[in-house]
């Protein structure tokens, strides 16, 4: 029986990078192929987007996947779905020309220097690039229904690069998409700055927001090693405020992550400090565990047993205390 594959990201995703469009923000399992996760160049409003070409490229990849040909930059990714030739009409909408997932990554500006940042080299090289005016692109996507909320009411917008809360138009971006009826947002933030807009959205019943903050430490000393900034108290303050704002309506809207970095924060002692701080002092109801990507890639995905034990340890503590839990990307594929 012929194997067929699909990926919603290839069909309907748009990652807005600072110099191009990509299909998604992943390629974590094939890092050497990351640059091939590419659609067209785009550096701002002066570049007119050929949407016909964008969807021709996407449709060709969808067709290739249906013929069993997985792009090199997708191989090993856990988001790939398999189906068979007995259901030829399944996922036919993958050929429809619309976007329902946007990742905003047009700026690398950040107020931390995390040692694990997957774009760290890009940040070093492009720190002075402040990000172009992205509103004309968003208006085009929304007005032409390229970002199509009618076809996919659960379409979502994610802030995926740099530190989104320091973008001068962060609030305006949220307001713009909400005005057009977008109800789903994802925010990946270091939590150093507390956003009044995020606090407001967390209290709104008609807006669904998922926030992930990578704290990665339970102490100021280890936090400084990971983030290269002395902002542990600021981050804890933000987490506590967000957790409080989400408490009544969506307690699991805020997830706090621990990225295990070998030889930096890979001890039960530090994990216990982090766990107790989050659950007993900051009011967090949802925890996430992952493995540092660059180390994971150097190891070719071969993770030593002690790291797996630490991941299981976090999961087990959450299960015992009835805390919502998730393995993230690299930890997820270990099938622990």
CATH number of the domain to which 301 belongs: 3.80.30.10
Output the furthest CA–CA distance in the chain (Å, rounded).
57
Q: Which residues contact 127 (CB under 8 A, 6 or more apart)?
A: 108, 109
pLDDT along the chain (336 residues), means of 10: 85 91 73 74 93 96 92 81 74 91 89 77 54 89 95 92 88 94 94 95 88 97 96 98 84 92 97 98 96 83 93 97 92 84
20-38: string of b/e by CB count within 10 Å (b at 16+)? bbbbbbbbbbbeeeeeebe
Instruction: Decide if 50 is inside a domain.
Output: no
Geometric angle at alpha carbon 191, from 201 and 210, rounded to 5°: 40
User: Does residue 184 form part of some domain?
Assistant: no
Evaluate whether 145 touches 98 at the Cβ level (below 8 Å): yes
Would you give the end-to-end CA distance of the chain in angstroms? Answer: 30
**CA distance linking residue 25 with residue 48, whole number of Å:** 22
In a domain, 177, yes or no: no
Compute CA distances 324 → 25, 46, 243, 247, 293, whole Å.
25, 45, 14, 14, 23
pLDDT score at 109: 84
In a domain, 328, yes or no: yes
| Coil, helix or strand at residue 133 | coil
Q: 181 in the Ramachandran plot: left (φ > 0), alpha (ψ -120 to 50) or beta?
A: left
Cβ contact 178:207 at 8 Å:
yes
* 292 found inside a domain: yes
For residue 336, tell me if it sits in a domain.
yes
- 259 alpha carbon, distance to own chain's centre: 14
Residue 214 DSSP SS3: strand
* Residue whose structure tokens are 């379409």: 155
Over the Cα atoms of the chain, what is R_g?
Answer: 20
Supply the pLDDT for residue 126. 46
Note the pTM of the prediction, 2 decimals. Answer: 0.89
- Confidence (pLDDT) at 36: 76
- DSSP 8-class letter at 267: S
Angle made by CA atoms 202, 208, 211, in degrees to the nearest 5: 65
pLDDT of 164 reads: 92
Reduce the DSSP state of residue 275 to 3 states and report it. helix
In a domain, 140, yes or no: no
Give me the torsion for CA of 308, 310, 311, 313, rounded to 10°. 120
Give the pLDDT score at 3.
82
Q: 263 is in which domain, residue-wise?
A: 190-336
The counts of H helices and E strands in the chain are 12, 12
- Tally of structural domains, the chain: 1
Is residue 204 situated within a structural domain? yes
**d(Cα 19, Cα 122) in Å, to the nearest integer?**
11
């Amino acid at each position: 029986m012929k194997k067929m594959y699909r990926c919603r990201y290839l069909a309907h995703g748009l990652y807005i990078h600072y110099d191009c469009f990509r299909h998604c923000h992943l390629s974590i399992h094939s890092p050497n192929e990351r640059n091939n996760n590419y659609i067209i160049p785009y550096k701002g409003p002066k570049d007119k987007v050929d949407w016909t070409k964008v969807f021709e490229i996407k449709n060709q990849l969808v067709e290739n996947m249906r013929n069993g040909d997985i792009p090199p930059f997708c191989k090993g990714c856990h988001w790939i779905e398999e189906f068979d030739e007995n259901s030829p009409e399944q996922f036919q909408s993958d050929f429809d020309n619309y976007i329902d997932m946007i990742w905003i990554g047009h700026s690398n500006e950040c107020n931390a220097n995390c040692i694990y940042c997957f774009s760290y080299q890009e940040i070093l090289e492009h720190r002075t690039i402040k990000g172009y005016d992205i509103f004309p692109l968003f208006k085009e996507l929304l007005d032409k229904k390229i970002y199509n909320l009618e076809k996919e009411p659960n379409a979502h917008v994610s802030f995926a690069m740099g530190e989104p809360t320091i973008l001068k138009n962060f609030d305006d971006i949220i307001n713009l998409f909400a005005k057009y009826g977008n109800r789903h947002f994802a925010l990946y933030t270091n939590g150093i700055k507390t956003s009044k807009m995020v606090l407001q959205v967390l209290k709104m019943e008609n807006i669904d927001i998922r926030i992930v903050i990578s704290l990665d430490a339970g102490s100021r000393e280890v936090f400084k090693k990971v983030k290269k900034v002395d902002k542990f108290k600021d981050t804890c303050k933000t987490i506590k405020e967000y957790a409080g704002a989400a408490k009544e309506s969506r307690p699991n809207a805020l997830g706090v992550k621990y990225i295990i970095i070998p030889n930096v924060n890979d001890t039960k002692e530090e994990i216990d400090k982090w766990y107790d701080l989050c659950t007993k002092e900051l009011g967090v109801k949802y925890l996430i565990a992952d493995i540092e990507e660059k180390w994971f890639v150097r190891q070719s995905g071969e993770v030593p047993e002690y790291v797996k034990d630490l991941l299981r340890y976090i999961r087990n503590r959450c299960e015992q205390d009835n805390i919502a839990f998730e393995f993230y990307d690299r930890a997820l594929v270990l099938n622990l």
